[in-house]
């Protein structure tokens, strides 16, 4: 279920006509994002890094790339690790060719060019005045240990930019789970209904609407100090009753709670699925923002309907042990662009950090102004 053309900055563009057009349009937009904006007198930033340079770190936990002085790209948040969410923001050049930015998406690749993930960009409104940037939210796969990945931003006219993305080191727990004959059959016996249920779930979590119901951070669906019986990214070995075995990566967190424990929505959103499934039992899926979903399995009872809107903490069901479960528990997972994502990180910080994004845009505006005014 878990499924670069750097153009060098043309200094001839630092003429009065360009300054007038750029500052009145692009910078004017950026400046109005913050009434406390102060023009910078610091020296011009260094030229864009080569495409092999690795992003990450910095006092604010981000680096900036651009293929011309107007376009703005930034990674919001610190250095991601395997399994962590990745948020990119993009502000296109003012007055630029709209076709250049059509169908914009971020693609995550390994060092051999194999696609690891990624997501399209969507409009993200930063304040009540309607100022908007584009954002893309995806996850670095918990199974990728290459250390460096490549981010490619592309549109209908081709690649706009590529840059390296350093991933921090991470280790995961290992566990063995013996299964009785019933649970063995649930995992191993082919069933067209199971296949149909999997296809439906995949079609939901690979979809991405346009609504930001919540920017996060999220909250656990049960008390935060509840005992955990399994952890995100755990490397599992299933020991079947017939003597065989299989491996899997645990996509979420298991909470050891008694049957009937109230389960709350981890954030505001729309209920995309609420029904019984063969393997995961009574299951609920909630869409929170484009491509970001929360999933709740093995419920004893579901108390929401598909299509309903829920707020953070709203009851969505009672915990249980339906489906493939070796005991009473709640399985909770988060998905970003279909990739399983560490729920603890999504609870620790907003996936769409308004303050950080506005600060990035304002600082970039100050650097552009200082450079073009020299």
Task: Look at residue 118 in the predicted model and tell me its pLDDT.
Answer: 96
**Contact between 140 and 184 (Cβ < 8 Å):** no
Q: Report the mean per-residue pLDDT for the chain.
A: 81
Span(s) in the chain for CATH 2.60.40.1930: 11-169+353-372
Over pLDDT 70: what percentage of the chain?
77
Q: Is 16 exposed, middle or buried (0-12, 13-18, 19+ CB in 10 A)?
A: exposed
Q: What's the CA dihedral at 182, 187, 188, 192 to 10 degrees?
A: 100
* Class (C level, CATH) for 174-348: mainly beta
Span(s) in the chain for CATH 2.70.70.10: 174-348
Q: How confident is the model at residue 131 (pLDDT cuts 50, 70, 90)?
A: confident
Q: How confident is the model at residue 187 (pLDDT cuts 50, 70, 90)?
A: very high
Global confidence as pTM: 0.81
Task: Look at residue 130 in the predicted model and tell me its pLDDT.
Answer: 73
CA dist 306 to 15, 40, 206, 263, Å?
57, 51, 17, 16
Residue 9 pLDDT greater than 60, yes or no: no
CATH of domain 11-169+353-372: 2.60.40.1930
Task: Look at residue 323 in the predicted model and tell me its pLDDT.
Answer: 97
| Structure-token match 């703005």, residue found | 72
- Token pair listed for 129: 């005045």
Residue 93 pLDDT greater than 80, yes or no: no
**Contact between 199 and 277 (Cβ < 8 Å):** no
Q: How confident is the model at residue 317 (pLDDT cuts 50, 70, 90)?
A: very high
Task: Look at residue 31 in the predicted model and tell me its pLDDT.
Answer: 35
The mean per-residue pLDDT over the stretch 310-324 comes to 98
The mean per-residue pLDDT over the stretch 241-248 comes to 97
């Amino acid at each position: 279920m878990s499924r670069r053309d750097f153009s060098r900055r043309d200094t001839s563009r630092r003429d009065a006509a360009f300054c007038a057009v750029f500052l009145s349009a692009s910078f004017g937009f950026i400046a109005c994002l913050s009434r406390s904006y102060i023009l910078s007198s610091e020296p011009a930033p260094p030229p864009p890094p080569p495409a092999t340079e690795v992003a990450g770190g910095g006092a604010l936990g981000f680096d900036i790339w651009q293929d011309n002085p107007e376009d703005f790209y930034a990674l919001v948040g610190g250095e991601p690790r395997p399994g962590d969410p990745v948020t990119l923001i993009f502000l296109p050049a003012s007055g630029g060719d709209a076709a250049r930015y059509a169908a914009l998406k971020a693609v995550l690749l390994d060092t051999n060019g194999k696609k690891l993930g990624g997501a399209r960009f969507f409009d993200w409104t930063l304040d009540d005045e309607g100022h908007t940037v584009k954002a893309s939210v995806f996850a670095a796969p918990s199974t990728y240990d290459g250390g460096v990945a490549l981010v490619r931003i592309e549109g209908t006219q081709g690649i706009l930019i590529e840059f390296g993305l350093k991933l921090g080191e991470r280790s995961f727990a290992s566990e063995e789970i013996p299964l009785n004959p019933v649970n063995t059959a649930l995992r191993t016996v082919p069933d067209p209904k199971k296949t149909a249920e999997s296809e439906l779930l995949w079609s939901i979590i690979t979809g991405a609407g346009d609504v930001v119901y919540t920017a996060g951070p999220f909250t656990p669906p049960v008390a935060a100090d509840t005992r955990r019986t399994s952890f995100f990214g755990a490397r599992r070995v299933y020991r079947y009753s017939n003597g065989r075995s299989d491996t899997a990566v645990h996509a979420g967190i298991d909470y050891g709670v008694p049957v009937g424990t109230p389960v709350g929505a981890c954030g505001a959103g729309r209920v995309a699925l609420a029904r019984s499934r063969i393997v995961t039992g009574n299951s609920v899926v909630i869409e929170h923002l484009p491509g970001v979903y929360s999933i709740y399995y093995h419920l004893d009872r579901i108390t929401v309907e598909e299509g309903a809107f829920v707020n953070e903490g709203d009851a969505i069901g009672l915990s249980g042990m339906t489906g493939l479960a070796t005991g009473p528990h709640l399985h909770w997972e988060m998905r970003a662009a279909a990739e399983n994502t560490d729920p603890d990180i999504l609870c620790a910080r907003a996936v769409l950090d308004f303050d950080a994004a506005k600060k990035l845009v304002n600082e970039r505006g100050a650097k552009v102004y200082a450079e073009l005014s020299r």
